[in-house]
Amino acid sequence: MSGRMSPEIVQVSLVLLCRNEERNLESCLHSIEQAVKPLPHVEVLIVDGESSDESLSIARKFTDRLPGLKILNNPKRIAPTGMNIGLQASKGDIVFMLGAHTTYSENYFKECLDVMNLSGAVAVGGCLKIESREISSWGSAIKLFLGSPEVGGPSRHRMQSDERMLRSLDTEFNRRLRKSGGRIAIASRASATYFSRSHPYELSKYYFVNGEWLFRPLAFNIRAFELRHLAPLVLVLGALVSASWMMGLYAIYLIYASRGVKNFKARFYLVAITAIVHLSAGVGSLWGLISLPFHRFRRIATP
């Protein structure tokens, strides 16, 4: 879409990815119900990855509450396939890609559309707030660690997601968007609240796989990382070469980085979570690098 379009005229599609989100889905859909009120032309598409909990039952409760609600099946149960299913079924000029573990401010969609209209950006998102799924010391530390704004939201470009990209999807998509000449903007007055993982094991597993997928896309001749993403790998490699020297510097960094947290207990948990994330991502990156030749060979050998 080119030129400027009024939010009162533009057709908007909301694509919500969901799989086993019974804990968060109702609050997510309720926030969407409130946020779409300023938009006269909107459809809501829930793409469900064959949930085995009560997610579908919860979604059906909103049939009469959300405009143009459709529930679509995602048989592969992975995010890029769900995005493509929603994109292909959508009718809007503008498409929002949404997550079910997030709630959205009442002005979210309207503000994003206004910024897109005024800035000429092809992708816009609001500021991301972090809340823990559970109230605990670990959950509070994870909230502190993850609490920073990032981009996500509507796009004018109807580019398909690469279904080989089980992780690093956003980074790879944004790289393609910028390469095509598109601009990305933030709607500072719109906010979304993401409910994060609350346990160290969940976070460690998540970042290990994220680290592995820094290099896995190279098997498809796709680069999906920036230089800053290599920092955890450098940390792990440095520790393998000279553990005492590297870990000593890293400990100093952790103490300095957490200086703003005055409560000793909270600071301890924050330092622990930071180390868990960096080391998990670094070990995952190292494994991804070591296993890359295998994935390249498998890609070549597969007809």
3-state secondary structure of 148: coil
Higher pLDDT pick, 245 / 296: 245
The answer to whether 168 and 217 have CB atoms below 8 angstroms apart is yes
What topology is assigned to 12-196 in CATH? Answer: Spore Coat Polysaccharide Biosynthesis Protein SpsA; Chain A (3.90.550)
Give the pLDDT confidence of 21-69 residue by residue, as tens digits: 999 999 999 999 999 998 888 999 999 999 999 999 999 999 989 988 9
- Cβ-count burial 258-295 (b if 16+ within 10 Å, e if not): beebeeeeebebbbbbbebbbbbbbbbbbbbbeebeeb
Higher pLDDT pick, 139 / 93: 93
Lowest mean pLDDT among 41-50, 55-64, 251-260, 265-274: 251-260
User: Can you give the pLDDT at residue 226?
Assistant: 77
HSE-up of residue 156 (Cα within 13 Å, Cβ side):
24
- Checking if the pLDDT of 106 tops 70, the result is yes
Share of the chain above pLDDT 90, in %: 35
Which residues 6+ apart lie within 8 Å of 35 measured at CB? 104, 105, 106, 107, 108, 109, 110
Cα–Cα distance list, 273 to 52, 128, 199, 281 (Å) = 31, 20, 9, 12
User: Can you give the pLDDT at residue 150?
Assistant: 34
User: Can you give the pLDDT at residue 104?
Assistant: 95
DSSP assignment letter at 76: T
What is the chain's Cα-based Rg? 21
User: Can you give the pLDDT at residue 59?
Assistant: 95
Domain boundaries, given as residue ranges, for the chain: 12-196, 200-301
Separation between Cα atoms, residue 287 and residue 280, nearest integer Å: 11
Mean pLDDT estimate for the chain: 83
The answer to whether 184 and 154 have CB atoms below 8 angstroms apart is no
User: Can you give the pLDDT at residue 301?
Assistant: 41
User: Can you give the pLDDT at residue 1?
Assistant: 32
- Checking if the pLDDT of 81 tops 80, the result is yes
Considering the entire predicted model, what is its pTM?
0.77
Separation between Cα atoms, residue 139 and residue 273, nearest integer Å: 10
